[in-house]
Amino acid sequence: MPTTRRRRRVVQGNYANVLLGYYRDRDAVTGAVYPTPFGHAYAYKSGYNPYISGEFTMDELHVKDHGKYLTGGPFKRVKVTACTPLVEVFGKGEYVRPDGRMIYYGGFTAPADSAYGTDLVIAPDSATIGESSWLFPPMTGLPERAWNAAKPRIEKAEGYVFLREASDIPHMLKTSSAFFHDQWKKTRAIYGGTGDLVNTLPSHLSNGLTVQIERDHKMTPTKAADHFINHQFGWAPFVSDINSFYDAFSRMDEHITRLSRNNGQFTRRSVPVFKGTTVTKIGSGTGTKVFPNSSFDYDTRWNTGVSWFIGSGATWELYDILTDNCVATGKFRYYRPEFDYANPEYSSVMNTLRRRAAILGLRVNPSNIYKATPWTWAIDWVSNVGKHIDFLNDTLVDSVACEYCYVTRHTIRVRRFIQKLPFASGTLTLQFDRIVDTKQREGARSPYGFGLTLDNLTPRQIAITAALGISRSRGRWGG
């Protein structure tokens, strides 16, 4: 039996006060610098969380089988990195005040926690307590999407559905032609024939007539909905079906060779489910928030900071950068008799036609019949009926099963604070990041996906599993 392991570690920053820098007077005309330093600036530990990073990991320990790990389990990890004034001094150098009368020798540290927004003010030690941390994004719906993305597909086109829906083409043409006809009449009325009449009328009459013309040709909500449905569920799938059908037909020999070679064999697959990065600007303003600033402590002579040193002109911006990546990985097997090289009837005319029909999606099976049924697309918008039928089709028709299948989601959220400080030599740009890095993995609960466990399999599914040579000890399932 696997053993669940939980590990947590935190890293503390420097407890000592950090010297940021100091000032010297400067002659704005000659550039001469006075030797006596003053205004020594420190970053103090008071009021800041001493932890600069924290990490929590939950995984499972498994026993090796013949030197290999043949089983796996769920995995969760969260890592929080906070950029605090106790970590490092950034941008060390010599900076001349815009009026040339003073020089600052030193660097800067990150702003206070409040500068990053209240939703991400998290302490690395308390945010990494366990696997129930609110920092983990939801995995709802991802296992099913991962299974659909990674499973082997015999059909490379949807020819059966395309032929059944061909009867809708006249209606689609009628709706589209009506749309273009209405647009043509509107354009002609405003800029063409009626437009000449409008231009010859007095202004107090032509204005009213123009408004009436525009009102008569304005697209109503009903018309807009009709055209949207006609495009979204008519022409778009129609063009997609034509492209996939042509691709499957032109690469027929390649598909047959690959499907026949892999038929009845376990093959590893790793495919992306989704991947993307979004950048959102969530704040901006003027003034300085990095340290030293006017609220920090200095030596007995000065109690001022870089905001006093610069005067005006400093600006800051706050961004939220989210990178979200989901991957499906699995080892799958399928079996179709017509693709079996060992079948004595492999080269027969009937099996040749069956292979071509399967690749072009012309088979009569539960999935194709459902998809070709009118308005099933609307049912799938509010239910999972289509997914359940696809699952039954994979299991009963194509004998699709897995030795293992995992869905992994990796997210990196960066809260980036950018400070721009104007000096005599130019603008200094400082960047500080707070990072929340999460990674989580879920495994299929049985050879048939994430929904069924081994204990809930039907006798037929158990028989197929045994025929595939998959045992409870061999498979890598999470349930």
Q: For the purposes of burial, counting CB atoms within 10 Å of the CB of 224, is it exposed (0-12), middle (13-18) or buried (19 or more)?
A: exposed
Average pLDDT over residues 425-449: 88
Residue 101 has a pLDDT of 84
pLDDT at 393 over 50: yes
**192 vs 316, which has greater pLDDT?**
316
pTM of structure: 0.72
Least confident of 96-110, 325-339, 366-380: 366-380
Pick the most confident of 97-101, 232-236, 361-365, 425-429: 425-429
> Where is pLDDT greater, at 111 or 356?
356
* Order of all β-strands in the sheet with 267-286: 3-12, 51-61, 75-81, 426-443, 401-423, 315-333, 267-286
pLDDT at 250: 86
Q: Pick the more confident residue, 200 or 63.
A: 63
| Percentage with pLDDT > 70 across the chain | 61
Reply yes or no on whether the pLDDT at 105 is more than 80: yes
* Residue 218: both structure tokens together: 């304005």
Instruction: Report d(CA 403, CA 469) in Å as an integer.
Output: 9
In sequence order, the β-bridge partners of residue 57 are 7, 77
User: What pLDDT does 294 receive?
Assistant: 53
- Burial of 151 (C-beta count, 10 Å sphere; 0-12/13-18/19+): buried
Res 24: pLDDT: 87
Q: How many CB atoms lie within 10 A of CB 67?
A: 5
Residue 180's pLDDT band (boundaries 50, 70, 90)?
A: low
Contact 297, 305 (CB under 8 A): no
pLDDT of residue 429: 93
Confidence label for 327 from pLDDT (cuts 50, 70 and 90): very high
pLDDT band at residue 9, thresholds of 50, 70 and 90?
confident
Please tell me the predicted confidence (pLDDT) of residue 329: 93
Give me the pLDDT at residue 205, please.
46
Residue with the bigger pLDDT between 408 and 48: it is 408
Report the Cα 321 to chain-centroid distance in Å: 11
Q: Is the dihedral of CA 177, 183, 186, 190 positive or negative?
A: negative
pLDDT value at residue 295: 43
Band the pLDDT of 297: cuts 50, 70, 90. very low
Return the closest-CA partner of residue 137 out of 77, 49, 68: 77
Higher pLDDT residue, 313 or 125?
313
